[in-house]
């Protein structure tokens, strides 16, 4: 079945960078996108952005623009998320998830919707001096 | 950015109870609304997509409704495995924001 396996926990000092990987199996990688979501300790979920594994199109939350790079490697079915200029408030669990697109065709105009149906186990990134 | 507001933030209920969690968007999002369940230390799991479509394998005691700005997730008869935190998420417009979460606890 479809599965996403993420890289292991990371510890970084403030100002450093981190790259988290997310390797897909059990489905055709290029048919879907990959979304990245993070969760600070004891807090809710925060959407960071997504990337198409088909053509590399991407959208980033404005707060991460300039600090986050999302890429994919279709030869290894792996998505990457790199975060630079780390701060203590970047300490969080980072999740990747498969992004699925659907269409509601019954409406007068087709309605496109998106959801995340397969999630990685999460990668803990700790930023501490 | 679209703000998603869940209510209540926390809820205490007993086994067998019927509970409803609501989610309101700051502007119309049509049916671009998903619900996720998260248990401590685990990744979120998809429950509902497109406002009312139950994800494969989700028990039928879960149901969801709504469109536009107002949405609801209902659990008809609480089971022990349902005690968790629930999040709504809009995917109409980036950033695809989540609600703040509703923690469902055993009374």
For residue range A32-53, list pLDDT tens digits in order.
Answer: 999 999 999 999 999 999 999 9
pLDDT classification of A106: cutoffs 50, 70, 90: confident
Q: Do the chains contact at A115 and B43, CB–CB below 8 Å? A: no
Flag whether residue B35 sits within 8 Å of chain A, measured between CB atoms. no
Contact indicator for B9, A79 with CB cutoff of 8 Å: no
Instruction: Give the residue from chain A lying closest to B40, CA to CA.
Output: A42
For residue range B64-79, list pLDDT tens digits in order.
Answer: 999 999 999 999 999 9
> Which residues of chain B does A20 touch, with a Cβ-Cβ cutoff of 8 Å?
none
Instruction: Give the residue from chain A lying closest to B9, CA to CA.
Output: A44
> Which residues of chain A does B97 touch, with a Cβ-Cβ cutoff of 8 Å?
47
Flag whether residue B57 sits within 8 Å of chain A, measured between CB atoms. no
Contact indicator for A68, A81 with CB cutoff of 8 Å: yes
């Amino acid at each position: 079945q479809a599965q996403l396996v993420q890289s292991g926990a990371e510890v970084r000092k403030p100002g450093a960078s981190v790259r988290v990987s997310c390797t897909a199996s059990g489905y055709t990688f290029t048919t879907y996108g990959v979304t990245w979501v993070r969760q600070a300790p004891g807090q809710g979920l925060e959407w960071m952005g997504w990337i198409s594994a088909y053509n590399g199109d991407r959208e980033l939350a404005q707060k991460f623009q300039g600090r986050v790079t999302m890429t994919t490697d279709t030869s290894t079915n792996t998505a990457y998320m790199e975060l630079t200029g780390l701060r203590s408030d970047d300490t969080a669990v980072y999740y990747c998830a498969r992004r699925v697109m659907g269409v509601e065709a019954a409406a007068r105009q087709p309605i496109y919707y998106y959801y995340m149906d397969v999630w990685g186990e999460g990668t803990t990134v700790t930023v501490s001096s | 950015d679209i703000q998603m507001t869940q209510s209540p933030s926390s809820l205490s209920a007993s086994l067998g109870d019927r509970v409803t969690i609501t989610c309101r968007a700051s502007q119309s999002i049509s049916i671009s609304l998903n619900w996720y369940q998260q248990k401590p230390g685990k990744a979120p799991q998809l429950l509902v997509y497109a406002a009312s479509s139950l994800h494969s394998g989700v028990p039928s005691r879960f149901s969801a409704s709504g469109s536009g700005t107002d949405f609801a997730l209902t659990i008809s008869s609480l089971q022990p495995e349902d005690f968790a935190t629930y999040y709504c998420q809009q995917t109409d417009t980036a950033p695809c924001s989540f609600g703040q979460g509703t923690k469902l606890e055993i009374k």
